[in-house]
A and B are shown apart, each in its own frame.
Chain A
Amino acid sequence: MSTTLHTERPARRTAPAATRPGRMRWLAWRQSRAGIAVLATGLLALAATLLFVHFSASATVATMERTGCRTPGSWSENGCFALVTRAEHLTGIFSQYLQPVITLLPVLIGMFLGAPLLAQEFERGTHRLVWAQSVTPARWLRARIGLPGLAVLLATGVLAVLSSWVWWTDVVHSPVAFDPPFGAFTYPAIGTAPVAWSLFAFALGLAVGLVLRRTVTAVLVTGALAGISLALMRLARPHLYPVTSGVQPVDQMISTFAQPTNAWLVNSGQVLADGTRVPDLDCYGGGGVDCSGTVARWGDYHPAGDLVPIQLVESGILLLLTIALLAFTFRRTGRAGA
C-alpha cells in the first residue's frame, strides 16, 4: 500500500543515489590540446637535436681516438685539425644554442602555458560558464591545471634526462670542450633544474593570471617575474650548500687561487704574512690594501660534486614555492566561486 503512495508522488527527477559529478576530462583536453601540441613539438625538436649532437659527437671522438688525435699535442696536425673543429662545433651546438634555449624554456612555459590559462577564463568570463554547469570550481581547476601541468612535468622530465646525458657523456668529458656544471646556462639545463623551474614558472603564470585577469598583462608580468626569479636564485645559489675552503702556496704563474677542474670559485684572496685573509677585490680591485707580502692564496669553492646537493636544495625550494602558488590559486578560486 505504502509503495503505491510513493509512486504517486510526481517524481521530478529521479536522482541516482550516487550522483555522477560532471566529467572535466574532455573539456580539459579540448582546451589544453593546442598548448600540449606546441610543447610536444618543441620537445621533439630539442630531443632530435640532442640525439644528433650525441651520436655525431661520440662518432667524431671515436674517430679521433682511432686516428691518434685525442691529445691536444696532436691537434695542430693536419688530419686532426678537421676532426677537432668538428667536435668543437658539435659540442658548441649544445653549449651555445641548446643550453640557453633550455634555460629559457621555463620562462616560456610560464608565459605561454601558465599565464593565459586562468587569465583568459576570467577575462572572458567563461569561468562563469563552467561554474554554471554541475562541476565545482575546485574540480574544474584540478582538471584544467592538472592536464597541462602533467604535460609540462613529462616533457621537461624527458628533456632534462636527455640534456643531462648529452652534457655528461659528450660535453663535460669531451676532449675538446670545457663546460663546467655551474655555468650560467649549463646549470639550468641539466639535472632537476629544467623540471623544477618549469613547474614553478607554470604555477607562477597561473597565479599571476588569476590575480591580473588580463591575458597580455599576465603574460608579460609572468615573464618578468620568472626572469627575476632566475636572477635572484643565481645570486643565492652559492649559499645553498656549504663551500669548500682551500689554501695554496704562492705560484708566480697565476696571481689568484686556482680552483679544481669544473669547480665554482665563490670567493678568493691572499693570505698576508700576519695571517689575515684579504679578498682579491681589495688587493687588485682598488681596495687599497698592499698585498705584496702575500704568503699564500685562499679560496672558497664548490667542487663539481656539489652540483647534485645544490640542485636538490634549489629544486626543493622551487617545489615548495610551486605548492604555495598552487595553494594560493586554489584558495582564491574557491573564494570567487562562493
Chain B
Amino acid sequence: MNNPTDGQPALEAVGLGRRYRGGWALRNCDFSLPAGRICGVVGPNGAGKSTLLALGARLLAPTEGELRVLGEAGNTPDLRRRVGFVAQDKPLYPRLTVAETLRLGRELNPDWDHRTAQRVLDQGQLDPKARIGSLSGGQRTRVALALALGKGPELLLLDEPMADLDPLARHQLMGILMAEAAERGTTIVLSSHILTELEGVIDHLLLVQSGRIRLAGDLEQILDAHRLLTGGDGSRLAPHTVVERRSTGRTTTALVRTDAPVDGSWESSRPTLEDLLLSYLRSPQTDTATDREAAA
C-alpha cells in the first residue's frame, strides 16, 4: 500500500496562473496533493478544471507561478513516462483498430502493462478488430482509459472520465481505478461535475471555481470542519463562517465552517460531499481567504 507522507507531493501549485486570449482561466492557485490520493477536482463548467489538468499533463505551460508534478518543475522525458492523461474529448485515431490503439500504447511507453489495459477492454467486450471511429462514445472512453492505465503511470490525470459512460461501465471503471490506486499507489486526479460519482471514491478534494481554488484538502478533514445546520432563527450563526444560508418559510438551513460547538437550538449534522459542494457552488461570493485555511 502507499504511504502518502512518503516523498514529494504528486501535485504542488505555487501562485499558479494560466491566461488565455480571453482572460485568466486560473489564477493565484496554491495547493498540495499528497501522493497516493484519489483526488476529485470539482467545479462548474468553465471553472478551470481542464486547464489545471492540462497544466499537470504538461500540455500547457503556466503563465505565472508553477505546478510541480511529482516533484518536477519543468518537463522531462522521465516525467512523461510517469504521468498519464486522458483529455476530456478522449482523442484517439479513428482509423486505428482497438488492437492497434493498444499497440500504440505498447510502442510508445516503455513501462507498458498489457494485462491491465487488456482487462479494461475485456470488461467492455470490445472487438479488437473494431475501428475506433465505429465505437460509441462510452466505448471510446474505455479505450482511452485502457491506454492511460496500460502506461502504468504514477500519476493519472483524468478529465471528466466518466461523463459518457452508462452506470454499469462507470461502476466497472471506478472499480479498476480504485484497484489501480490500491495496488500500485497510483495518485489519481479526476475532474467531474457529476457529484454522485465521486462519493465514496475520492479521499481528497479540490474545489475550483472561477479560476480559483476554493477548497483543497483531505476530504474527511474538510467534511469534519463543516456543519449542516437546520433551525428556526438565522440570527444566531454569528460565531461561525457561513458558507451558505437558505430560508424556506420559518426554517433556515445553513452550511457553516466552524470548530466551535454549535448552539443547542440548531439541529446539526455532518454534511455529505454533495451537501458541501452544492453549498459552495451556489454561493460563489464566500471569502476565499478563509476557505483556503482548510487546505493548510
Residues of A within 8 A of B184 (CB): 12
Most buried by A among B58, B78, B91: B91
A-side binding surface: helix, strand, loop or mixed? loop
A21 to B3, CA, bound (A): 29
The residues of B that contact A23 with a CB separation of less than 8 Å are 107-108
In the complex, chain B residues whose CB is within 8 Å of the CB of A135: 80, 108
Question: Once the chains bind, are B110 and A130 in contact (CB under 8 Å)?
Answer: no
Q: Does B59 contact A (CB under 8 A)?
A: yes
A26-34, A74-82, A256-264, A287-295 - interface stretch: A26-34
Please tell me if the beta carbons of B91 and A129 are within 8 angstroms of each other in the complex.
yes
Query: Which of A13, A125, A127, A131 interacts with B154 by CB under 8 Å?
Result: A13
Asked if B43 is at the interface (CB within 8 A of a chain A CB), the reply is no
CB of A22 within 8 Å of the partner chain: yes
Which chain A residues (120-160) contact chain B, with CB distance < 8 Å?
124-136
Closest A residue by C-beta to B87? A128
Q: Number of A residues whose C-beta is below 8 Å from B?
A: 31
Given contacts A13-B152, A30-B100, A132-B148, contact A126 B92 (CB under 8 A): yes
B78 touches A19 (CB 8 A): yes
List of A residues within 8 angstroms of B111 by Cβ: 13, 134
Assembled-state Cα–Cα distance A59/B98 (Å): 55
With A and B bound together, what is the CA distance between A42 and B193 in angstroms? 52
| Residues 81-133 (chain A) with a chain B CB within 8 angstroms | 124-133
Task: Say yes or no: A26-B103 contact (C-beta < 8 A), given A19-B81, A134-B80.
Answer: yes
Does B77 touch A at the CB level, under 8 Å? yes
Bound complex: CA of A21 vs CA of B79, how far in Å?
Answer: 11
B side interface size, CB within 8 A: 38
B108–A30 contact, CB under 8 A? no
Does B105 touch A at the CB level, under 8 Å?
A: yes
Are A22 and B109 closer than 8 Å at their CB atoms? yes
Q: Is residue A338 within 8 Å, beta carbon to beta carbon, of the partner chain?
A: yes
Beyond A13-B111, A19-B77, whether A131 also contacts B59 by CB under 8 A is yes
A126 to B152 CA separation, bound complex (whole angstroms): 20
Which residue of A10, A22, A24, A26 contacts B110 across the interface (Cβ within 8 Å)? A22
Select from chain A the residue with minimum beta-carbon distance to B76: A136
Instruction: Indicate whether A132 sits within 8 Å of B110 (C-beta atoms), given known contacts A13-B154, A19-B81, A126-B93.
Output: no
| With A31-B93, A125-B89, A134-B77 as contacts: A338 and B107 at CB distance below 8 Å | no
| Top 6 closest pairs, chain A to chain B, by CB | A22-B108, A133-B108, A338-B61, A125-B91, A132-B85, A134-B81
Interface residues, chain A, with chain B CB atoms under 8 Å away: 10, 12-13, 15-16, 19-27, 30-31, 124-136, 337-338
Apart from the given pairs A26-B104, A26-B107, A136-B80, 17 other A-B contacts in the complex at a CB distance below 8 Å: A21-B110, A22-B107, A124-B94, A125-B89, A127-B91, A129-B87, A131-B57, A132-B59, A132-B87, A133-B80, A133-B108, A134-B77, A134-B110, A135-B80, A136-B77, A337-B75, A338-B58
